[in-house]
Amino acid sequence: MRFDLDGRLAHFGLTADAVPGLSAQLQMQHAGLPLAPVDAIAASSSAGAYLEALLMDPVYQLK
């Protein structure tokens, strides 16, 4: 299975190394999770790390 990180982040106008702002973080949460994430994600995370944290969050399993 292949995951196109750059393609996924391009939908939000981001690259993997960019630090997403609050608006982009919320857009990523809304696109990937049915509820707010359970686990805290560091605000200074890169977009790639932020997306990875969202996909590892237990709430992701509910979608």
Q: What is the mean pLDDT of the chain?
A: 92
pLDDT category, 57, cuts 50, 70, 90?
very high
Alpha carbon distance 63, 13 (integer Å) = 24
What average pLDDT does range 23-34 have in this prediction?
A: 94
Query: Tokens in use for 56?
Result: 């590892």
What integer pLDDT is reported at residue 63 of this predicted model? 64
Residues 21-43 as b or e (16 or more Cβ within 10 Å = b): eeebbebbbeebbeeebeeebee
pLDDT of residue 43: 87
Give this prediction's pTM: 0.88
Provide Rg for the chain, Cα atoms. 11
In the predicted structure, residue 30 carries a pLDDT above the cut 90: yes
